[in-house]
A and B are shown apart, each in its own frame.
Chain A
């Protein structure tokens, strides 16, 4: 009986939001058709779907470009964020010296520094500028979460490691990093979405005719009043964001399921 209620519960978590989505789409379709809303103001869902089918292949190509920047920025954010946090954990002085600048980098709106970055790397290397900007946005959550995570190791366990004469490296490898893992993963979940947002926002600001990402296609479609195509691009973006979040959530479950409370599926 318990198993059944658990299963129907997980079915509910899928069906309820889907039901809400279907209702909203239906209402949207109805209102657009009933009120005869012009396509360039608000296209009906059916029209967006048609556009998705028609422009899909070319949009997917642009999505590929954006995705490449997103994933590269995310990867570098993980490497840089975790790496810097580990350095901070080894040297309090280094942390004091550098952490404020990481914060400054974080609180400065990326839109404001985008033109500068573009000038520095050269207008012919837009992709690199986008990568740097997406990285700046994605990097901080991982850094701050990892710094917190590395400090969260149990004090008695630290004493125990000291008692058994663990080296710095052993303490880091077998105590601090495993203890930080849940924090690192939750930082990654935030950061994965931010990398995508960063890649898009940066292209909005720094993109030009040579730019090939999805953001540029949205600008293009907007300029030509191809509103259904804009919506189609937005749908692709949302789906990509959801996919990134989903993949990272699965990764988190897999890595933590045997030991961390957050990932334990409880029998209700």
Chain B
């Protein structure tokens, strides 16, 4: 990363622990320290229970840190995509995408074109009047992304958004997401448990350990976009996958190759 870039998200000794009645507080995350650059595509990888989702919720302000803090540049221009499409089943596709503006008190007529444009971006303009249950899993996820993008966010937090989809649909949506990101250049923090997906998508993969989640690896993926099938078969891809995988197993710190480097903190 160049020194000129500005931070979008800064973690400073961030921790979160949960306490259930009677038990000692369970540490779920941290301490986590680090910086995510503006406009970068960063993945957060780790086994389940490593606090990945907790980290996203702390950034979004849905949870409060137990200690330390996380600061977000442009806190109000932040969108969140959940693992499930998280659509309102009683509302049409249009109304689901319109929701952020509806809650902000913007009349429907004023924003109608933008809603349709957002749906068009994810290829669902012709399904605006459909209801979520009439859509496939991939289509629902696209609606969810359209809803996240309609507020024109600076930061996009994605919590295993494609984990419930089949491999084919997931790779298709990965590519669509990358196309959108390259056009808009938001900062993306993408949580996943798939090493391959994280490497394919990101410029940088942060690896978290289990219980509590601590940064145990930080892998740069230096490959240009657009990335296609050729990238999946390249040495850079392969080495980066190996580096992430080694970090997850607690492998030798500093494991690196010419194009992919990992260092533990």
Contacts and interface: CB of A to CB of B under 8 A. Distances in A.
B104 interface: yes
A178 B90 contact: yes
Interface centre among B80, B84, B103 (most CB of A within 10 A): B103
A125 interface: no
B62 interface: yes
Nearest to B104: A164
B133 A159 contact: no
B131 interface: yes
A171 to B, nearest CB: 9
Interface in A161-180: 161-166, 170, 174-175, 178-179
Interface stretch (A11-19, A41-49, A135-143, A255-263): A255-263
Given A178-B90, A264-B133, 12 more contacts: A159-B60, A161-B103, A162-B62, A164-B99, A164-B100, A165-B103, A165-B104, A174-B88, A174-B102, A178-B91, A258-B131, A259-B89
A138 to B, nearest CB: 26
A175 B88 contact: yes
Interface string B49-62: 00000000100111
A163 B89 contact: no
Interface in B82-101: 82-84, 86, 88-91, 99-100
A163 B80 contact: yes
Contacts of B82: 156, 159-160
A154 interface: yes
Interface in B192-239: none
Nearest to A167: B103
A157 interface: yes
Contacts of B133: 259, 261, 264
B65 interface: no
B132 interface: yes
A178 B86 CA distance: 14
Contact of A160 (B86, B90, B131, B132): B86
Contacts of B57: 159
B91 to A, nearest CB: 8
Contacts of A161: 103
A157 B78 CA distance: 16
Chain B interface: which size bin? 20 to 34
B86 A157 contact: yes
Interface of B: 57, 60-62, 78, 80, 82-84, 86, 88-91, 99-100, 102-104, 131-133
Contacts of B89: 259-260
Nearest to B132: A259
Contacts of B62: 159, 162-163
Contact of B90 (A164, A166, A259): A259
Question: Chain A's interface: helix, strand, loop or mixed, by majority?
Answer: helix
Of listed A156, A161, A175, A179, residue having the most chain B CB within 10 A? A156
Contact of A181 (B86, B90, B99): B90
Nearest to B102: A174
A239 to B, nearest CB: 33
B103 A170 contact: yes
A154 B86 contact: yes
A174 B103 contact: yes
B131 A164 contact: no
B146 to A, nearest CB: 14
A164 B103 contact: yes
A163 B91 CA distance: 19
Given A159-B80, A163-B60, A170-B103, A259 B131 contact: yes
Nearest to A264: B133
A181 B90 CA distance: 10
Contacts of A163: 60-62, 78, 80
Given A163-B62, A258-B131, A259-B89, A156 B84 contact: yes
B25 to A, nearest CB: 21
Contacts of B83: 156
Interface in A214-268: 258-261, 264
A160 B102 contact: no
